[in-house]
Structure 1
Amino acid sequence: MGITTIRRLEPTDLEALTDIYRCPSVAENTSQLPYLDTGTINALFSGANQYTLVAEVDNQLLGHVTLFLSTKLREKHTASLAIAVHPEAHGQGIGRRLMEEALSQADHWLNLVRIELDVHEDNSGAIELYKKVGFEPEGTKRLATFKAGKYINLLLMSRINLGSTDPT
């Protein structure tokens, strides 16, 4: 596999992003229903208060990470996070590269202190990745989502970065 390029989402990427979300193993670990169409993907990831990066390898889009910036006045320092990587590219470091770059942008350009996410409690690979990049569990939402015919728990995680308080 070639070199991973991380860049901002372009409108021309929406079809490739839709293809990722059409993979059953991706859709089952989101809050969305399977078989998303391009219009739904466009609505989810093209808003003004979103910051989406994509990973491209050999000119093929293989993943994204999105920071959903809070529009609440007293929560401008927070964002929620969503990430998806094509199943054929799992285990190749793409998710980690996306997460690291999104967190760098959050710290150095977006002035974010708190990044939060929900993850299915049975998604051990994602939980491991989130812990590696600094997320910590905050709690469990019991029976919070419906997956494959049963209710499951969501794990709430966050990463706090207060940065430097020294202005010099």
Structure 2
Amino acid sequence: MNERYETGLIIRAARREDGGDLTLMANLPGVRHGTARLPFTTQSAIEGRLEAPGVNLLVAELEGTVVAQAFLMQQSGRRSHVGYTGIYVHDDHTGQGIGTKLIEALLDLADNWLGLRRMELTVNVDNADAVKLYERFGFEREGTKRGDILRDGAFVDCHMMARLKDAPSFV
């Protein structure tokens, strides 16, 4: 299913032919800065993720070019009610509402198709825009992993965030 917006943005499932656009995006300085990605990600590594079992990959396409990616991995066993997610947006397309459209699509998938009750993610503490976006959709900070990611020779803390849907009472 493709979701088209008045801006011409299309949210759809990732395809193998998106590998080039996704590789370009993964290697951008802004994307790398805001994620745990290493520099010099290869296209074959990206294409391997496109076919990984249990991973739902969505892309945002604008004028025929992929400008953002989101993933949702459903956990297994006694954690099958949990999904782990993340988003990244092309450096030239941040602040345009693309992340908002992707998180809406991810949460629709999680809530209405997979029946997930808990969505988890980690986000660098200095990525204020991403933290704000996730909080708008009901994600709450559950803790901070100190020195979690090595970036440009320095360790960066990450927030663990989660969104609970129709949470049962806990023992």
TM above 0.5: yes
> What CA distance in whole angstroms lies between the structure 1 residues aligned with 2:117 and 2:19?
29
> What CA distance in whole angstroms lies between the structure 2 residues aligned with 1:49 and 1:62?
23
> What CA distance in whole angstroms lies between the structure 1 residues aligned with 2:37 and 2:71?
15
Partner of 2:54: 49
Pick from 138, 141, 147 the counterpart of residue 145 of structure 2.
141
CA contact (8 A) 2:81 2:118 kept: yes
Deviations 1:81-127 (A, max 9, x none): 12111011111100100001110111000111111001111111111
Deviation, structure 1 residue 45: 4.0
Q: Which amino acid aligns with 1:25?
A: G
Partner of 2:162: 158
**1:27 and 2:32 aligned:** yes
**1:126 and 2:130 aligned:** yes
Q: Which amino acid aligns with 1:32?
A: R
Q: Determine what percentage of the aligned residue pairs are the same residue.
A: 33
> What CA distance in whole angstroms lies between the structure 2 residues aligned with 1:68 and 1:45?
12
Deviation, structure 1 residue 146: 0.9
Unaligned runs of 5+ in 2: 1-5
> What CA distance in whole angstroms lies between the structure 1 residues aligned with 2:49 and 2:29?
18
Pick from 96, 106, 113 the counterpart of residue 110 of structure 2.
106
CA contact (8 A) 2:16 2:50 kept: no
Partner of 2:99: 95
CA contact (8 A) 2:59 2:66 kept: yes
Deviation, structure 1 residue 150: 0.8
**1:12 and 2:12 aligned:** no
Deviations 1:44-68 (A, max 9, x none): 3431111111111111111011001
Unaligned runs of 5+ in 1: 164-168
- Cα RMSD (Å): 1.4
TM-score, with normalisation over the residues of structure 2?
A: 0.90
> What CA distance in whole angstroms lies between the structure 2 residues aligned with 1:32 and 1:54?
18
Deviation, structure 1 residue 42: 2.1
Deviation, structure 1 residue 15: 1.1
> What CA distance in whole angstroms lies between the structure 2 residues aligned with 1:46 and 1:94?
24
